[in-house]
């Protein structure tokens, strides 16, 4: 066998370098899978970085804490439903009621993650982990919800005179409180569905409760039906 016919050694394949966004997405998806499989509290940062195939220190370049992942997930759920409402042309008080009912239903479909979220919802952080330095910081999830409510309330005001003297901010805070109360009842008292699947009686009850509470607050302010 001459030298020309001998097999040449294979060159090692170059590893494709992931972009910052790709690394963040991989960490996020790894965390979502682990949280759903074994629970939020039982999942360590070391576990999810191993599953994502990145160094542990890389995690903290994108998510300062595990709570930032929960906050990012909730923002995605909230903003997705809000965009759908806007595309459907639903606004004002009707948008407020429809949004909260849909949010409760979405969380019921992902009860394991929702339970972890609701237990910490008042303390979930803001910020945008892994974002560019010149990007505006993202509000904490409940502050974002509160601001969205204020915008929907203001859509009503040119068309109606409120029955009671209540500021946009105060009414928005009451709406947030009603939503959080319903979520805590559904997920922190053992009443929620344990697994995803078809809608259950529990889901219907939670949706009815939140709709009734939000409806009452909006009607008390003279905004329902606008």
- Averages of pLDDT over each 10 residues, the chain, 226 residues: 57 66 92 94 94 91 93 96 96 95 94 94 76 62 95 78 71 95 87 41 71 92 74
Find the length of the chain: 226
Contact 206, 104 (CB under 8 A): yes
pTM for the complete prediction? 0.81
pLDDT at position 42 is: 95
pLDDT at position 116 is: 95
pLDDT at position 94 is: 94
pLDDT at position 166 is: 75
3-state helix, strand, coil in the chain (%, to 5): 65, 0, 35
To the question of domain 18-62 being in CATH 1.10.1060.10, the answer is no
Dist. CA 119–CA 52, nearest whole Å: 26
Domain borders along the chain are 18-62, 70-220
Which CATH architecture describes the domain 70-220?
A: Orthogonal Bundle (1.10)
pLDDT at position 8 is: 62
């Amino acid at each position: 066998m001459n030298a020309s016919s001998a097999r040449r050694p294979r060159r090692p394949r170059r590893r494709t370098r992931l972009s910052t966004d790709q690394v963040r997405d991989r960490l996020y998806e790894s965390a979502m899978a682990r949280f759903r499989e074994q629970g939020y509290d039982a999942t360590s940062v070391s576990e999810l970085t191993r599953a994502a195939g990145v160094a542990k220190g890389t995690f903290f370049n994108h998510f300062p804490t595990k709570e930032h992942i929960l906050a990012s997930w909730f923002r995605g759920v909230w903003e997705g439903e809000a965009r759908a409402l806007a595309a459907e042309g639903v606004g004002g008080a009707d948008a407020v009621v429809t949004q909260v009912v849909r949010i409760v239903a979405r969380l019921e479909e992902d009860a394991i993650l929702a339970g972890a979220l609701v237990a910490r919802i008042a303390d979930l952080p803001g910020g945008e982990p892994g974002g560019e330095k010149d990007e505006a910081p993202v509000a904490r999830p409940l502050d974002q919800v509160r601001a969205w409510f204020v915008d929907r309330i203001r859509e009503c005001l040119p068309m109606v005179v409120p029955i009671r003297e209540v500021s946009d901010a105060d009414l928005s805070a009451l709406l947030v409180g009603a939503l959080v109360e319903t979520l805590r009842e559904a997920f922190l008292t053992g009443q929620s569905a344990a697994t995803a699947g078809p809608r259950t009686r529990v889901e219907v009850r939670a949706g009815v409760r939140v709709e009734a509470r939000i409806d009452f607050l909006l009607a008390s302010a003279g905004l329902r039906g606008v």
